[in-house]
């Protein structure tokens, strides 16, 4: 089951502290506090035109929705993404025990310019669609009548927030309230919100690690507390560190006074012997429970999941907890088909599982802040992250634009600084030539907000870590004098064979057979070419002093300026693997084992094994030897390939040169230390005779009541159950039970697979999906 790692208050507080065994003697909790989820029961209306408040309120086209929400279900290929007004409204009836509290409405993200009214009074205007913002409702609520909350979102092109206008943009930004909404109900004395507090290197809870070692670690926990009440208070802060359900360390502050209307920073240090350190191979997490007492009364509590680790660079190489580490990684866009950014926490977790299963230990969050749920999943699974602000080929000297980018950098760090997974901060506008004073301002902010942390940018000047794409390196590379990451590779240099940045001007230069942009439906020959390009580029990256590289990109995605998908993903937009997925999986150490994702020894035959298949059969494996059999007869056992495009790889492919095609079954067996450790089979398919349905859970079962979306795949199979790889076959989907099809009811196959996206309802009882194509049918799939 997915673990939710966001730092959240508890409800009720005393019940949780009792459950954890963390209550102090004499604890009581007369003061109610909570984070209430407000995702349900909104009303929504969209408009292409700009509407004023009165016109919007009088509109008759409001519909009931829950969030996360996207303004419009888009087609699979988005040629005309909705841009305009998205209006949301909700009625809030306060409870009597909220009186006298500090109450705020928190949006995790809403695209892109947000205005919020309460009972007709405009309370805020927030710019930027990827980071949280809060609205103080403390003195704005009616206590004897329902309260009307109205939100207007404008996701049109904006010169202050950037990036490029959508018709020139390399990705879509979608819209709506697409992440969670919370009502934060606090006592007058409370732990502040890290972003809303608006303080340098402060706000909320901030954990740093002045000493990290295998024998001992020291944690400094900084807690920012506000007293918005009318009386001074004597307070005490307690920090408890839990390993599972066991408290392994506890520290308490001295009693201190906090004047009415003021705030205070409390610092406590925790020492830990023989800590379980966090790393990609061992993502150990602890739970920090922070409690604030007013006398014997618990007035606030927050939980924060942390990982004790040290990122250190020696001679420009990365050491994690003293171990030299090369990070094999990938870039990720967070969009899903049809729903854009409006994904559930479970869907984001599944993406993290897919990335880890593919053999990656590092993700560049391109080119904007990703969801808290994905960040939490990276902590849990062991993915090192490069955390980025929004930016792509757009920069402006407008002071308002630069101030917005600077504030975005601050807010990003404040939101994400406690995540064990975050290695550095990409407060840099990707592929946008920034002036040196502007760069200086951004790198200074990184140091102000998180002293000792590192900045990263695509210009070498100013930043601690230099990010350079391989296509740029091929044109103007010189040996860097600082830590270096190949930020992107494997796509553009095989697309237009040019290191330029103006993609629109080169749109007609697509070399279909050579490109890394290959859809799953493009078949064996082109999928093998994509894998060859990736192998060549990844191998070449080791000729540089880079400590990490990031392939472009993990999943196929839509972009605003092009009438097709960007198809360089190693998985399709429906999260189906291409051959290159297995190339990367083969680069992982076979000794690495986890119950949370695919790992250990593997072998994969990159062939459909039909009469048109290549006779040089390529096999991906992380084993020492591979044996290939055809219809039970061994064709020999081989060591990995050795050539100029494999000399730097830990686990090169195995290529078997066959003399002729013979229909039947190919079997690859992988060996370590003389023992068979993995097997994969491919059979020549016959005619399609039925449909086999399967559910992609990727480590997380379907979640009810949270707008979870899961992929159901319908595979054409022959009479023996072998996959049939036909394209363009229409498959009709039907759903029964509490769920709905987000995708169209009819989907054409790609590589023999039609993929439906299903939204889960309030329960899984009798929820099933069936599929048919003409006379072809299959067993309905029960979704559990």
> Is residue 328 within 8 Å of residue 361, measured between CB atoms?
yes
> Is residue 173 within 8 Å of residue 384, measured between CB atoms?
no
* Least confident piece of the model among 8-17, 131-140, 487-496: 8-17
CATH of domain 326-584: 3.20.20.80
Class of domain 8-30+192-306: mainly beta
pLDDT tens digits, one per residue of 498-513? 534 444 544 454 568 8
HEC readout, 693-735: EEEECCCCCCCCCCCCEEEEEEEEECCCCCECCCCCCEEEEEE
- Mean pLDDT for the chain? 93
- Tell whether the model's pLDDT for residue 11 goes beyond 60: no
Q: What share of the chain is helix, strand, coil (3-state, %, to 5)?
A: 15, 35, 50
**Residue 264 or residue 497, greater confidence:** 264
Q: How confident is the model at residue 10 (pLDDT cuts 50, 70, 90)?
A: very low
> Is residue 484 within 8 Å of residue 547, measured between CB atoms?
yes
Q: For the sheet containing 633-638, what is the strand order?
A: 633-638, 625-630, 665-672, 675-683
**The pairing of beta strand 8-9 with beta strand 753-760:** unpaired
So what's the architecture of 36-186 in CATH? Sandwich (2.60)
Whether the link from the prior residue into 112 is cis, omega within 30° of 0, is yes
At 583, which helix (H) or strand (E)?
helix 579-586
pLDDT confidence of residue 504: 54
Q: Cα angle vertex 575, ends 71, 726, to 5°?
A: 110
> Is residue 685 within 8 Å of residue 718, measured between CB atoms?
yes
Q: Cα angle vertex 648, ends 644, 651, to 5°?
A: 105
pLDDT confidence of residue 510: 52
Nearest Cα neighbor of 778 from 702, 699, 709, 724 is 724
Report residue 283: phi and psi, to 5°. Answer: -80, 70
> Is residue 82 within 8 Å of residue 71, measured between CB atoms?
yes
Domain ranges of the chain: 8-30+192-306, 36-186, 326-584, 603-683, 690-782
Which whole number is the average pLDDT over 449-455?
98
Q: For the sheet containing 121-127, what is the strand order?
A: 63-65, 42-47, 85-92, 147-154, 113-118, 121-127
- Tell whether the model's pLDDT for residue 20 goes beyond 80: no
pLDDT confidence of residue 496: 67
pLDDT confidence of residue 22: 41
DSSP string, 208-273: EEEEE-SSEEEEEEEEEEEE-SSS-EEEEEEEEEEETTEEEEEEEPPPEEE-TTEEEEEEEEEEEE
**Residue 435 or residue 27, greater confidence:** 435
pLDDT tens digits, one per residue of 513-533? 889 999 999 999 999 999 999
Report residue 521: phi and psi, to 5°. Answer: -75, -10
Domain 603-683 CATH superfamily: Immunoglobulins (2.60.40.10)
The single residue listed with the structure tokens 């990609």 is 280
Q: Cα angle vertex 104, ends 4, 12, to 5°?
A: 50
pLDDT tens digits, one per residue of 399-441? 999 999 999 999 999 999 999 999 999 999 999 999 999 999 9
pLDDT confidence of residue 708: 98
Q: How confident is the model at residue 198 (pLDDT cuts 50, 70, 90)?
A: very high
Rounded to two decimals, the pTM is 0.95
Q: How confident is the model at residue 751 (pLDDT cuts 50, 70, 90)?
A: very high
pLDDT confidence of residue 782: 95
Instruction: Say how far apart CA 299 and CA 28 lie, in whole Å.
Output: 9
CATH of domain 690-782: 2.60.40.10
- Give the C-alpha distances (Å, rounded to integers) separating 672 from 600, 714, 780: 11, 35, 40
pLDDT tens digits, one per residue of 60-108? 889 999 999 999 999 999 999 999 999 999 999 999 999 999 999 999 9
Q: Is 10 exposed, middle or buried (0-12, 13-18, 19+ CB in 10 A)?
A: buried
pLDDT confidence of residue 644: 85
Which whole number is the average pLDDT over 443-460?
98
Q: How confident is the model at residue 14 (pLDDT cuts 50, 70, 90)?
A: very low
How many CA atoms does the CB half-sphere of 370 hold within 13 Å?
Answer: 32
% of the chain residues with pLDDT over 90: 90
DSSP string, 132-195: -EEEE-TTT--SSS-EEEEEEEE-S--TTT-SS-GGG-SS----BS-S-EEEEEE-SEEEPPTT
pLDDT confidence of residue 513: 84
Which whole number is the average pLDDT over 663-667?
98
pLDDT tens digits, one per residue of 353-383? 999 999 999 999 999 999 999 999 999 999 9
Q: 326-584 and 603-683: same fold?
A: no
pLDDT confidence of residue 257: 98
How many CA atoms does the CB half-sphere of 682 hold within 13 Å?
Answer: 20
- The structure tokens listed for 252 are 């308490």
pLDDT tens digits, one per residue of 271-305? 999 999 999 999 999 999 999 999 999 999 999 99
Q: Which residues pair with 180 in a beta bridge?
A: none
pLDDT tens digits, one per residue of 633-652? 999 999 999 988 899 999 99
Quick count: other Cβ atoms within 10 Å of Cβ 111?
A: 26
- Tell whether the model's pLDDT for residue 34 goes beyond 60: yes
pLDDT confidence of residue 509: 46
- Tell whether the model's pLDDT for residue 31 goes beyond 70: no
> Is residue 616 within 8 Å of residue 644, measured between CB atoms?
no
């Amino acid at each position: 089951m997915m673990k939710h790692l966001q730092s959240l208050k508890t409800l009720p507080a005393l019940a949780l502290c009792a459950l954890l065994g963390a209550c102090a003697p004499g604890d009581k909790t007369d003061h109610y506090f909570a984070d209430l989820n407000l995702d349900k029961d909104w009303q929504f209306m969209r408009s292409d035109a700009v509407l004023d408040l009165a016109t919007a309120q009088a509109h008759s086209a409001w519909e009931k929705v829950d969030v996360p929400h996207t303004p419009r279900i888009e087609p699979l290929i988005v040629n005309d993404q909705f841009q305009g007004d998205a209006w949301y409204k909700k009625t809030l009836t306060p409870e009597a025990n909220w009186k006298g509290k500090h109450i705020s409405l928190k949006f995790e993200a809403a695209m892109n310019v947000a205005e919020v009214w309460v009972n007709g009074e405009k309370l805020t205007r927030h710019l930027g669609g990827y980071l949280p913002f809060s609205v103080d409702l403390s003195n704005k609520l009616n206590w004897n009548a329902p309260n009307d909350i109205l939100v207007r979102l404008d996701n049109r092109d904006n010169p202050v927030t950037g990036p490029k206008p959508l018709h020139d943009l390399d990705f879509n930004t979608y819209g709506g309230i697409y992440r969670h909404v919370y009502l934060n109900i606090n006592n007058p004395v409370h732990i502040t919100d890290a972003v809303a507090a608006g303080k340098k290197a402060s706000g909320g809870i901030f954990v740093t690690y002045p000493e990290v070692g295998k024998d001992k670690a020291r944690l400094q926990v900084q807690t920012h507390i506000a007293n918005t009440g009318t009386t001074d208070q004597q307070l005490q802060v307690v920090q408890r560190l839990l390993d599972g359900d066991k408290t392994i360390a506890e520290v308490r502050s001295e009693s201190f006074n906090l004047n009415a209307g003021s705030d205070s920073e409390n610092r406590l240090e925790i020492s830990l012997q023989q800590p379980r350190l966090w790393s990609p191979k061992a993502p150990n997490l602890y739970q920090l429970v922070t409690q604030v007492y007013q006398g014997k009364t618990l007035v606030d509590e927050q939980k924060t999941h942390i990982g004790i680790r040290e990122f250190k660079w020696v001679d420009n190489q990365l050491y994690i907890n003293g171990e030299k580490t090369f990070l094999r990684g990938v870039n990720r866009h967070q969009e899903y088909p049809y729903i854009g950014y409006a994904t559930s926490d479970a869907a984001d977790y599944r993406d993290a599982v897919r990335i880890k299963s593919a053999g990656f230990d590092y993700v560049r969050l391109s080119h904007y802040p990703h969801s808290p749920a994905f960040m939490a999943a990276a902590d849990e699974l062991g993915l090192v992250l490069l955390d980025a602000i929004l930016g792509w080929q757009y920069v402006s000297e407008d002071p308002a634009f630069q101030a917005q980018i600077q504030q975005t950098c601050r807010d990003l760090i404040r939101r994400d600084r406690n995540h064990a997974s975050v290695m550095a901060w990409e407060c840099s506008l990707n592929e946008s030539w920034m002036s040196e004073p502007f760069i200086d301002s951004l790198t200074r902010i990184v140091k102000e907000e998180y002293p000792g942390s590192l900045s990263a940018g695509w210009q070498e000047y100013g930043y601690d870590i230099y990010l350079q794409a391989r296509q740029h390196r091929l044109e103007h590379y010189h040996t860097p004098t600082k830590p270096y990451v190949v930020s992107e590779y494997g796509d553009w240099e095989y697309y237009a064979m040019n290191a330029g940045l103006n993609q629109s001007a080169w749109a007609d230069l697509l070399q279909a057979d050579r490109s890394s942009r290959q859809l799953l439906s493009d078949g064996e020959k082109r999928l093998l070419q994509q894998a060859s390009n990736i192998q060549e580029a990844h191998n070449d990256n080791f000729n540089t002093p880079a400590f990490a590289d990031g392939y472009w990109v993990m999943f196929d995605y839509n972009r605003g300026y092009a009438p097709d998908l960007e198809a360089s993903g190693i998985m399709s937009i429906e999260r189906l693997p291409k051959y290159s997925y297995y190339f990367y999986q083969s680069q992982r150490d076979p000794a690495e084992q986890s119950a949370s994702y695919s790992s250990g020894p593997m072998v994969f035959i990159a062939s459909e094994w039909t009469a048109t298949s290549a006779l040089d059969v390529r096999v991906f494996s992380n084993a020492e030897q591979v044996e290939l059999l055809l219809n039970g007869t061994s064709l020999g056992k081989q060591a990995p390939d050795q050539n100029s495009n494999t000399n730097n790889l830990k686990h090169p492919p195995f290529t078997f040169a066959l003399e002729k095609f013979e229909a039947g079954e190919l079997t690859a067996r992988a060996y370590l230390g003389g023992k068979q450790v993995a097997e994969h089979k491919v059979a020549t398919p016959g005619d399609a005779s039925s449909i086999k349905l399967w559910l992609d859970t990727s480590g997380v079962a379907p979640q009810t009541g949270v707008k979870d979306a899961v992929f159901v795949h319908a595979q054409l199979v022959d009479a023996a159950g072998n996959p049939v790889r036909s394209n363009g076959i229409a498959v009709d989907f039907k759903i029964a039970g509490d769920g709905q099809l987000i995708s169209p009811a009819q989907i054409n196959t790609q590589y023999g697979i039609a993929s439906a996206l299903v939204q889960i309802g309030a329960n899984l009882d009798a929820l099933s999906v069936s599929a048919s194509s003409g006379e072809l049918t299959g067993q309905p799939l029960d979704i559990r």
